[in-house]
Amino acid sequence: MITGKYPSLRLRRNRKNDWSRRLIEENNLTPNDFILPIFLTEGKNKRQEIKSMPGVYRYSLDKLTQIVDNALKKGLPMVALFPYTDRKKKNLLGTESLNEDNLVCKALQIIKKRYKNKIGVMCDVALDPYTSHGHDGLLNSGYVLNDETIEVLINQSLLQAQMGCDVLAPSDMMDGRIGKIRKSLDKNGYHMTQILSYAVKYASSFYGPFREAVGSKVLLKGNKKNYQMDFRNSTEALREVALDIKEGADMVMVKPGLPYLDIIKLVKENFKIPVMAYQVSGEYSLLSNAIKKGLVDDKVILESLISFKRSGANAIVSYYADRLDKILK
């Protein structure tokens, strides 16, 4: 509570000079606050533009070390892997997710062989990059089956852990999957493999460019409202987080980011657990295109990223993470 009154109290005194403003900054950003998403594709010597995401590309595995080298040079603690799966390898059951020669598994082996533990690797646990219908689980008459999907996710998680994944990130929103994945990991000796649960993932319209990036957009049948959260709800987020913590989540994610700063704050204040925010593809594309068209200054990037820290996020998954040296200067 502020005590005192004007004119003896003048809050603008602290804002007069740059050095004073810097001295009393409450929130700031460093590279340690960021996770860099990397999109993977088949082939060699490929750097494919993602048209809906200016400045973001898919890379073939032979270019992966260049991207990770750059991430390390910029001081980033972790990268996140997302595959663009060939449509011929997709089917109703998403069986490519369990193939030890899939893109994510190959990428894990490359990164761990070259870098050991110099950088963390986060892997998405969900079936949407692998299914022919674009959903995160097994589909039956338009409904994603919960328990049957979890059995596949357990095997996907074990495979990724075996290949060296540091942080498993279930983004599927199936009830009970965190507990079953944790139990399976512990049973198989992966006690120290971390789980970052997408505990609060809303059925959002901000995901479009990402779905193009992983090749699920044109395949998606219907919507994901019967498993992802209703954007009108907030207390439901607390229930989701509470359950996932009880089941063994080490960290939790709120997704999307900017429209849900209130949720990030709510989760952080209630649970005191590491909370990650995902500045999703739609947020990125809106900002990038507005900057490109001269509608706003590129300083809006820093402003938007600071808002995550201000709301309580420990780290941010952002497509701007590979340009931090320019953003934070």
> Looking at the annotation, which residues are catalytic?
201, 255
* Closest to 46 measured CA to CA, from 27, 34, 26, 60: 60
Residue 246 CB: number of other CB atoms within 10 A? 10
- Angle formed at CA 287 by CA 283 and CA 289, multiple of 5 degrees: 115
The enclosing H or E element of 159 equals helix 146-162
Inter-CA distances, 326 with 112, 288, 295, Å = 28, 15, 20
Q: How many CA atoms lie within 13 A of 183 on its CB side?
A: 10
Q: If you ran DSSP here, which 8-state letter would residue 230 be given? A: P
Partner residues linked to 41 by β-bridges: 60
- Angle formed at CA 32 by CA 163 and CA 20, multiple of 5 degrees: 175
